[in-house]
Structure 1
Amino acid sequence: MDKTVHTDLPEKIPTHIAIIMDGNGRWALARGLPRLAGHRAGTENLRRIIEACIEFGIKYLTIYAFSTENWGRPQEEVAGLMRILEDVIDRELQELHDQGVQLRHIGRLDRLNPLLREKVLHAVEFTRHNTRLVLNVAFNYGGRDEIVCAVQRIIADGVPPEKVNDQLLSQYLFTAGVPDPDLIIRTSGELRGSNFLIWQGAYSEWYFTPTYWPDFSKEELLQALHEFAQRERRYGGLPQAQESSPDHAG
């Protein structure tokens, strides 16, 4: 992977970036700190990355904050993650609003405690008219669960089978109205999708980095943008060079 440091923006900027913010726990353990300290450091870094996205002109940012599988973690860690989300909303909501950030929640609200659920709904409503950056927070989210929920709602609405297509299903997803991600970033060196945006990310470009999320910087985000700009997005088709060259009999 080219690690050239870029200081300027590429001409082609993704409209929508999604990030699997991985490595908080390992970042903390490497420093002899409790795992929750890593999660708190991760939220501090998120503020910097949001500001960078605004500066770079990115219109949509989706973050994987808590998956449906994360309920299987130790109860103390799960409770701590819930407190962190509450604290972030209390501390950052006004500033995010002032920056023109629209907050959206994607995922299920039903397992969240009533106070946290109320805070999430308030944050969404409070920022709903902002247009500078749409921040989708995937909390209690799973890609398979999202598709199951969409299918259940389609059936409940009595949609005839012949009317069901990919455009209609997209309208029933948690991300309805949001363009599919152009670029998905995963930190910490893991090379898997982890049930994140599995429908929406069908044709996304991926950027993997060994950097733990608390250390993922504005400079590395810019590096990811430059790498994205150099790629040719095919959407299942052939590279342009092959499309333009004639076939020859073998």
Structure 2
Amino acid sequence: MPIPPNGPRHVAFIMDGNGRWAQQRGRPRLLGHRAGARRVREIVAACPDLGVEYATIFAFSTENWKRTQSEVSGLMSLFRRYIESEANTLLTQGTRVRFIGDRHRLDAKLRGLMDMIEALTAHNTRCHLTIALNYGGRDEVARATKRLARDVAAGRLDPETINDQTLPRYLDTHVLPDPDLVIRTSGEARISNFLLWQSAYAEYEFVDTLWPDFTREKFVEVLSRYGTRDRRFGAVRA
């Protein structure tokens, strides 16, 4: 299926369904997360050839700490192994890696690996991969508002000049374009506190496929549907 020329520049993914994928096979949930990590590798590698410059993945939310201790520990171990195993591949592919979210609750080893891969890939430009880790949209806006308030209190920012272009400069994503398309897998139709400010005018696709089964071919199908949409951003065609 050909990709339309007016495809999305930035695609964000809510990668849902890893646990269900494993449970359907009678396996532990963590096995599904491992399968999901392999799918991330395939989708990110496909992005440049499909015209997608920016990919943002929702890896772990601020609410995911409510899961069992064994699953949270397993996920943190998986994140560490993913960075260690994928760093050189991402560097060679020309992928730049960034992280968004509150890092303070993450362990020191994981934070160090995050710093390492960000520095290692800092000069790559072929694809920009952003990983949302301990991320929540409301938490991000709250943290951004605190930084903005400190600048006002310090006299660095005039409150009378604040408008809808001001807050984005304080968000974790301040160096990224807003997403054009948000894809959620597994059949759930929720945005789950993901990129709340940035996705104000994004197109959404809720697909029934569980994330470990979301292949490159299924990604192409979604991109092709996106190409048929008329994005007016509140305006009316003459």
Q: Which category of TM-score, normalised to the shorter sequence, fits these structures?
A: over 0.9
Deviation of the 1:52 alpha carbon: 1.2
State, as a whole percentage, how many aligned pairs show the same letter. Answer: 50
Q: Distance in 2 between matches of 1:221 and 1:98?
A: 23
Superposition map of 1:65-214 within 5 A: 65-158=59-152, 159-214=157-212
State the aligned residue count: 234
Q: Distance in 2 between matches of 1:39 and 1:166?
A: 37
Deviation of the 1:35 alpha carbon: 0.2
Is 1:25 equivalent to 2:23 in the alignment?
no
Which deviates the most, 17-26 or 118-127? 118-127
Alignment match, 1:221: 219
Contact 2:205 2:222 (8 Å CA) reproduced: yes
TM-score (structure 1 length as normaliser): 0.92
Which consecutive unaligned segments of at least 5 residues does structure 2 have? none
1:57-101 deviation line (CA, Å, top 9, x unaligned): 211000000000000100100000000000000100001000000
Alignment match, 1:8: 2
TM-score (structure 2 length as normaliser): 0.97
Q: Distance in 1 between matches of 2:151 and 2:120?
A: 29
Deviation of the 1:9 alpha carbon: 1.4
Q: Distance in 2 between matches of 1:111 and 1:49?
A: 28
For residue 45 of structure 1, the aligned residue among 39, 43, 49 is 39
Q: Distance in 1 between matches of 2:104 and 2:79?
A: 16
Deviation of the 1:8 alpha carbon: 1.4
- Secondary structure of 2:97's counterpart equals strand
Q: Distance in 2 between matches of 1:122 and 1:39?
A: 23
Max radius of gyration: which structure? 1
Deviation of the 1:112 alpha carbon: 0.4
Q: Distance in 2 between matches of 1:195 and 1:237?
A: 27
Which deviates the most, 228-237 or 98-107? 228-237
Q: Distance in 2 between matches of 1:143 and 1:235?
A: 22
Aligned alpha-carbon RMSD (Å): 0.8
Q: Distance in 1 between matches of 2:100 and 2:62?
A: 12
Deviation of the 1:53 alpha carbon: 0.6
Superposition map of 1:52-63 within 5 A: 52-63=46-57
Alignment match, 2:30: 36
Residue identity matched to 2:51: G
Contact 2:2 2:224 (8 Å CA) reproduced: no
Which consecutive unaligned segments of at least 5 residues does structure 1 have? 1-6, 245-250
Which deviates the most, 152-161 or 134-143? 152-161
> After the TM superposition, which segments of 4 or more aligned residues of structure 1 sit over 4 Å from their partners?
none
Deviation of the 1:237 alpha carbon: 2.6
Residue identity matched to 1:68: T
Q: Distance in 1 between matches of 2:146 and 2:161?
A: 15
